[in-house]
């Protein structure tokens, strides 16, 4: 405890003053603190003080050992420092000696610079002497250069290319041997070598360009020219750096000559006239496969494989043909036949088995890399042009056919009759044949062209039908001006109805398999055919009514009430007129009969509505009823005899009308009119009013009741099945205007 107290006292007595070695002061503090901590841990009880001397002795020994190691380390460090200082001193001395030696060498060099400058002329003379010595050794060869050049030119002109090339190589080697030691500009003696090499290259290219002929006549010459080109290609490849006139690229020159020769042979001649296009393409069809066979059999064996002769031939011919056809399209206005021939040749013949698709064509031709002969844009333009030109031709052909048909209408004989007994003309078959042939033939070109032509043909058919309608109108106008002309007006109208039947039944046959009809075009054709049929029927019915009009003048009249002569004449005339319908094919004949019967009934109704007759008493009303009933039966029997079914007839309206006249009590007219309105929903108040006027016994009040009943009970909608309007086609005369003043008041 005492020692601990002293240690603590010693710690507290440690001087706290600024030192020159703060790190040492800090280390000493740390050491003292560690010692105190260690001592407090060892001597924490009085019993431990007995070992104090032993601990002190051990620590003293440790301190001695540490001090001896420190002294040894410091001594070793000091010795190393001394050795380093000695070595630095020696190095400094050596550097000074080297500096002095360099200064002496620099001085010596300055003294020798003037001497070296004075020796420069001598050095140049020595170089010239060496060059002249080298030239002197080659002097015999140099003297032979002009003769060698002349001999090379003669060899080139004689097509002895290998010998000429060997001499040229020797001359160029001699030139290199002379110029290398001299290192100066080229001697005038060798100035002719470059033109001589170019002359040889041109001759080689010219010969290779004639390979097509030489492969047959002189393949050895062709092989020699190609070998010379290949020798030069190897020399170009061996060059480390470009030199004047190099690389000569004679292989490319030869390949270019081959391509130009092919193009000149086939495609640089004047373009054929349109009339000769088919022959020109036929000649190419024969020549190009033969050319490829020649390339594979004769030219290719004379050339290295790197030339790819068969591929070169195929691609050159293809590219030249593409450009040739494009020039032809740009410079010529081709007709439809030429465009068709060109499209068929380019799209089918050329890539087909007769030409580029030939099974014997070498795979080396590599035709899979070839673009189409005609671009899609060019094909589309050609198809459009073909369609437009063909449209004009078809329009002209159809117009000629129409003109011929119209000329037949004016003949003084009836239309021709076919073996079945129907009126017949070649017009439908001519029209359909013109359209069908032009549609079907385009199938060998492409579906797109066939689709274009089909749509165009339908449009032209619609135009033709409209022209035919106009021709019928002119035909009718001429008949109206002079009823005696044309001589057979109605028979030719009936023949035209057969034309309609033939055209309408055959239009669908024009449609190629796989080609759809545009909705608009189909609707246009249907409309044109419908207009054509309606026009013919109208003209026929007009002709019928024109004949019947004088007979219906007496309807209604008291003569009509008392006699059936008028309707007998009508039936006789109708029977005569409709007998011609037997020359019309069904179902058109049935349709004409139905329309004729309806026209007669409508004319009958028009007569009743004119108000020319007013029944004076019940007897006349009964006569009118009986007359309408008999007329209805007579018309029914007439058309049944003409083979028109009763269900297709409209004469039943007369039987219904007679009920309005048979009714004795006018007060019951409302019920009868309601029943009539249910059967014929298109009857109007004006029609009923006109019929009541014919009765002659209906008061104003009764008329008003009937009309109010009609308004209160409108007809059913939609109308009954099979109903066709009748009364809506029958005009009703306007009632006379009522004057405000009695006669004689205006004076």
Residue pLDDT, tens place only, 160-169: 888 888 888 8
d(C-alpha 44, C-alpha 36), whole Å: 12
Report pLDDT for 243: 65
Helix (H, G, I), strand (E, B) or coil at 410: coil
What angle, 0 to 180 degrees and rounded to 10, lies between the N-to-C axes of helices 250-266 and 193-209?
Answer: 40
Which residues of the chain carry a pLDDT beneath 50? Answer: 1-18, 737-747
Instruction: Tell me how crowded residue 365 is: count the other CB atoms within 10 A of its CB.
Output: 24
- Omega before 587 within 30 of 0, i.e. cis: yes
pLDDT tens column, 383-437: 999 999 999 999 999 999 999 999 999 888 999 999 999 999 999 999 999 999 9
pLDDT at 272: 63
Q: Which residues contact 602 (CB under 8 A, 6 or more apart)?
A: 726, 729, 730
Give me the percent of the chain exceeding a pLDDT of 70. Answer: 87
**Domains (ranges, CATH) in the chain?**
2-14+21-89 (no CATH), 136-335 (no CATH), 378-541 (1.10.357.50), 555-729 (1.10.357.70)
**What pLDDT does 365 receive?**
78
Report field, pTM of the whole predicted structure over 0.85: no
pLDDT of residue 140: 65
Report d(CA 215, CA 296) in Å as an integer.
Answer: 11
| Cβ-based burial of 60 (10 A; exposed 0-12, middle 13-18, buried ≥19) | exposed
pLDDT of residue 138: 59
Helix (H, G, I), strand (E, B) or coil at 417: strand
Write down the H helix ranges in 417-557.
427-441, 447-481, 489-506, 519-548
CA 696 to chain centre: 77
**So what's the pLDDT on residue 42?**
74
Q: What is the chain's Cα-based Rg? A: 63
178: which 2 tokens? 């002379």
Cα maximum dimension of the chain: 182
| CA atoms 508, 510, 516, 518: torsion sign | negative
Please name the residue that has the structure tokens 């009857």.
Answer: 683
Quote the pLDDT of residue 518: 65
Q: How many CB atoms lie within 10 A of CB 575?
A: 13
């Amino acid at each position: 405890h005492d020692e601990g107290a002293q240690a603590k006292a010693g710690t507290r007595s440690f001087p706290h003053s600024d030192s020159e070695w703060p790190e040492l002061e800090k280390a000493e503090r740390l050491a003292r603190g560690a010692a105190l901590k260690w001592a407090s841990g060892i001597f924490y009880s009085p019993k431990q003080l007995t070992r104090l001397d032993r601990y002190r002795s051990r620590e003293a020994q440790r301190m001695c050992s540490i001090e001896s190691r420190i002294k040894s380390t410091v001594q070793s460090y000091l010795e190393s420092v001394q050795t380093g200082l000695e070595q630095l001193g020696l190095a400094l001395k050596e550097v000074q000696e080297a500096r002095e030696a360099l200064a002496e060498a620099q001085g010596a060099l300055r003294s020798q610079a003037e001497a070296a400058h004075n020796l420069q002329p001598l050095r140049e003379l020595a170089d010239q002497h060496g060059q002249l010595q080298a030239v002197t050794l080659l002097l015999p060869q140099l003297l032979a250069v002009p003769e060698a050049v002349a001999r090379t030119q003669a060899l080139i002109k004689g097509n002895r290319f290998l010998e000429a090339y060997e001499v040229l190589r020797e001359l160029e080697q001699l030139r290199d041997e002379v110029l290398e030691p001299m290192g100066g500009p080229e001697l005038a003696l060798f100035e002719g070598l470059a033109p001589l090499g170019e002359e040889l290259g041109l001759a080689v290219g010219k010969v290779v360009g004639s390979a097509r002929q030489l492969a047959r006549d002189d393949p050895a010459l062709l092989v020699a020219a190609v070998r010379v080109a290949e020798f030069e290609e190897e020399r170009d490849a061996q060059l480390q750096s470009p030199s004047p006139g190099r690389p000569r690229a004679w292989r490319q020159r030869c390949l270019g000559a081959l391509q130009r020769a092919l193009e000149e042979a086939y495609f640089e001649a004047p373009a054929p006239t349109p009339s000769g296009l088919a022959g020109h393409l036929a000649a190419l069809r024969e020549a190009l496969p033969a050319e490829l066979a020649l390339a594979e059999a004769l030219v290719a064996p004379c050339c290295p494989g790197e030339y790819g002769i068969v591929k070169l031939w195929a691609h050159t011919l293809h590219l030249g043909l593409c450009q040739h056809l494009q020039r032809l399209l740009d410079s010529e206005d081709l007709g439809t036949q030429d465009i068709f021939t060109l499209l068929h040749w380019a799209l089918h013949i050329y890539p087909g088995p007769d030409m580029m698709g030939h099974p014997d064509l070498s795979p080396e031709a590599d035709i899979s890399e070839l673009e189409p002969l005609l671009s899609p844009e060019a094909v589309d333009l050609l198809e459009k042009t073909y369609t437009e030109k063909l449209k004009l031709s078809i329009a002209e052909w159809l117009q000629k056919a129409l003109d011929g048909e119209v000329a037949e209408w004016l003949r003084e004989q009836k239309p021709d009759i076919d073996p079945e007994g129907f009126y017949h003309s070649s017009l439908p078959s001519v029209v359909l044949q013109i359209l069908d042939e032009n549609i079907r033939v385009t199938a060998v070109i492409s579906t797109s062209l066939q689709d274009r032509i089909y749509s165009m043909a339908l449009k032209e058919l619609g135009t033709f039908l409209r022209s035919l309608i106009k021709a019928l109108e002119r035909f009718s106008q001429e008949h109206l001006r002079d009823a005696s002309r044309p001589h057979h007006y109605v028979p030719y109208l009936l023949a035209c109805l057969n034309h309609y039947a033939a055209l309408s039944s055959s239009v669908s046959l024009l449609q190629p398999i796989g080609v759809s009809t545009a909705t608009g075009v189909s609707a246009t054709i249907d409309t044109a055919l419908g207009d054509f049929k309606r026009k013919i029927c109208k003209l026929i019915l007009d002709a019928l009514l024109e004949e019947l009009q004088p007979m219906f003048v007496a309807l209604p009249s008291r003569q009509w009430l008392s006699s059936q002569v008028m309707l007998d004449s009508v039936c006789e005339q109708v029977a005569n007129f409709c007998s011609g319908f037997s020359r019309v094919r069904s179902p058109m004949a049935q349709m004409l009969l139905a329309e004729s019967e309806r026209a007669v009934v409508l004319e009958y109704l028009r007569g009743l509505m004119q108000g020319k007759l007013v029944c004076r008493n019940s007897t006349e009303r009964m006569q009118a009823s009986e007359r309408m009933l008999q007329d209805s039966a007579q018309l029914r029997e007439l058309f049944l005899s003409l083979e028109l079914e009763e269900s297709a007839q409209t004469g039943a309206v007369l039987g219904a009308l007679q009920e309005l006249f048979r009714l004795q009590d006018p007060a019951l007219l409302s019920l009868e009119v309601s029943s009539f309105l249910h059967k014929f929903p298109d009857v109007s108040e004006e029609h009923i009013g006109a019929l009541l006027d014919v009765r002659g016994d209906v008061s104003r009040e009764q008329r008003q009741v009937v009309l109010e009943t009609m308004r209160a009970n409108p007809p059913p909608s939609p109308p009954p099945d099979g109903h066709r309007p009748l009364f809506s086609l029958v005009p009703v005369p306007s009632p006379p205007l009522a004057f405000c003043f009695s006669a004689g008041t205006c004076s």
